[in-house]
Chain A
Amino acid sequence: MSLAVDLVMVLLILTAAVWTILARDRRDAVIAFIVLGLLLSLVWMRLLAVDVALTEAAVGGGATGLVLLRACARLLPVEADGALPGLRLQVAVGVLCAVVGACLAAVILSPPEPAPSLAPAVAAHMEDVGLKNPVTVVLLAYRALDTLLEKVVLVLGLIGVWALAPDLFWGGRPASLRAAVPSGTLTFLARVLPPIGVLIGIYLVWNGADHPGGTFQGGTVLAAMWLLVMMADLGDPPETRALRLRRLVAVGPALFIAVGLAGFGMADGFLSYPPGYAKPIIVAVEVALALSIAVILGLMVAGPAAKEPDQ
């Protein structure tokens, strides 16, 4: 019975995936991709990975979908952009991809026994840190270096996006996010929802120490509220040269690196926490990271500067 539910989920996912590839209109393809993201977050619930489900819904479907939809709006409508090349090539590539898929399926069907797991190592680590959410323990203690490098990737990605601005516009504001036609409904939502969203974002960060949630999920909710306000034209995207903005971008990674370096003097080495103080330090790092993630995600969706900076 429960496998029937999973089977239906898989069929829905594969339909959405095929539609993403075959849709003639690129906006249909993006919408199918967003649907796929939401379905996948349900799958993560079925796999009992609630932290991942939250991230997939917020970042995988939500933020990525928004970036792609904005791109669609900026491109001229082209009738048939889903046109695939000739049938013979399609068959050849199809066979190739089927072979790749079959190889991966074979790996799934002959798994190693017993299943490898690092869970016991994490469990040993959890007692030192004093947090109850194992995923947060991995992200901020057991494998903190990965998380730190990923933050650096985010900052580099933002610098990359900014660097695509024409020289004239460097440091100016990104293109406005406001909807083509002003809508009272959107304004209403953008006036009522953000305070609630801010509260829920902070809740996700604060709760992430011991329960599902954390910096990514909370930061994305905060970013979404900021984007909603900008879309309803209640606030403009900030100038990318603003010092305060750049400090917000850097505060999370900078604090993380500072804590990591402090580990040399106060604990066993880079990114290790002094015993007894691990939890407050981790919570402080998480708050700073959530702030930086919110600002970085919002700025990435907004895109490179598209106006000359004010004099």
Chain B
Amino acid sequence: MTPATLYGLCAAALVAIGLFGLILHPSPLRKVISFNLVGSGTFLFFGVAARRGAVAGFLGDPVPQAMVITGIVVAFAATALAVALLLRMLESGAPTVDGPPEQPDDLSP
């Protein structure tokens, strides 16, 4: 077995673990974290494909590598948006298992 194959199996396990948390966790924040796990597993898949595509003197196929870089940044943007949405939802009193947020000290003018 090559290291790339081993990490491919690890990627499959990461996706499965993340999916488990995404479906079962009642708390929205934990769902966001689980979703990021699924994302990490998917990126690792691309990494394995890139490593296998090492031809023409390259250490890896640069196209999937560039896509993963793009993907990591987009995943960050999605996470930041989701967290902001979640905090706003709790501030406006939506009932969730996370309970109401603490009022930030500097909210009042």
- On whether the beta carbons of B58 and A44 are closer than 8 Å, the reply is no
- On whether the beta carbons of A101 and B74 are closer than 8 Å, the reply is no
Q: Which of A86-94, A270-278, A279-287 contacts B (4 or more CB under 8 A)?
A: A86-94
Query: Which of B50, B52, B101, B106: most chain A Cβ within 10 A?
Result: B50
Bound-state Cα–Cα, A41 to B79, Å: 19
- On whether the beta carbons of B80 and A67 are closer than 8 Å, the reply is yes
Bound-state Cα–Cα, A110 to B44, Å: 17
Bound-state Cα–Cα, A10 to B75, Å: 22
* B: interface residue count bin: 35 or more
Provide the residues of chain A in CB contact with B87, threshold 8 Å. 71, 74-75, 303
Bound-state Cα–Cα, A160 to B82, Å: 10
Provide the residues of chain A in CB contact with B17, threshold 8 Å. 14, 17-18, 20-21, 97
Provide the residues of chain B in CB contact with A43, threshold 8 Å. 7, 10, 44, 47
Residue A78 CB within 8 A of the other chain:
yes
**Which residues of chain B (56-100) have a CB below 8 Å from chain A?**
56-63, 65-70, 72-81, 83-88, 90, 97-100
Quick one: which of B12, B13, B66, B86 contacts A143, CB cutoff 8 A? B66
Provide the residues of chain B in CB contact with A56, threshold 8 Å. 43, 72
Quick one: which of B26, B68, B75, B85 contacts A64, CB cutoff 8 A? B75
Quick one: which of B7, B84, B99 contacts A304, CB cutoff 8 A? B84
Q: How far is the CB of B29 from chain A (nearest CB, A)?
A: 6
Residue A205 CB within 8 A of the other chain:
no
Quick one: which of B36, B70, B84 contacts A303, CB cutoff 8 A? B84
Bound-state Cα–Cα, A93 to B34, Å: 14
Bound-state Cα–Cα, A102 to B1, Å: 17
Q: Determine the residue in chain A with the shortest Cβ distance to B7.
A: A43
Q: Determine the residue in chain B with the shortest Cβ distance to A74.
A: B101
Provide the residues of chain A in CB contact with B86, threshold 8 Å. 71
* A: interface residue count bin: 35 or more
- On whether the beta carbons of A63 and B56 are closer than 8 Å, the reply is no
Q: How far is the CB of A12 from chain B (nearest CB, A)?
A: 10
Query: Which of B24, B80, B90, B107: most chain A Cβ within 10 A?
Result: B80
**Which residues of chain A (127-153) have a CB below 8 Å from chain B?**
134-135, 137-139, 142-143, 146-147, 150, 153
**Which residues of chain B (1-28) have a CB below 8 Å from chain A?**
1, 3-21, 23-27
Provide the residues of chain A in CB contact with B76, threshold 8 Å. 59-60, 63-64, 67, 297, 300
Provide the residues of chain A in CB contact with B85, threshold 8 Å. 164
Query: Which of B34, B81, B109: most chain A Cβ within 10 A?
Result: B81
- On whether the beta carbons of A138 and B48 are closer than 8 Å, the reply is no
- On whether the beta carbons of B26 and A85 are closer than 8 Å, the reply is yes
Bound-state Cα–Cα, A97 to B73, Å: 26
Query: Which of B36, B53, B60: most chain A Cβ within 10 A?
Result: B60
- Give residues in A with beta carbon < 8 Å to B: 2-3, 6-7, 10, 13-14, 17-18, 20-21, 26, 29-30, 33, 36-37, 40, 43-44, 46-49, 51-52, 55-56, 59-60, 63-64, 67-68, 70-72, 74-76, 78, 81-85, 89-90, 93-94, 96-98, 100-102, 104-105, 108-109, 111, 115-120, 122-123, 134-135, 137-139, 142-143, 146-147, 150, 153-154, 157-158, 160-161, 164, 175-176, 214, 216, 293, 297, 300-301, 303-304, 306-308
Q: List 29 A-B contacts (CB under 8 A).
A: A3-B3, A33-B36, A49-B59, A56-B72, A59-B73, A76-B102, A81-B27, A81-B30, A85-B24, A98-B16, A101-B13, A104-B12, A108-B48, A117-B55, A119-B61, A119-B62, A120-B55, A139-B66, A146-B67, A147-B70, A150-B70, A154-B74, A157-B78, A158-B77, A160-B81, A161-B80, A216-B69, A216-B73, A293-B73
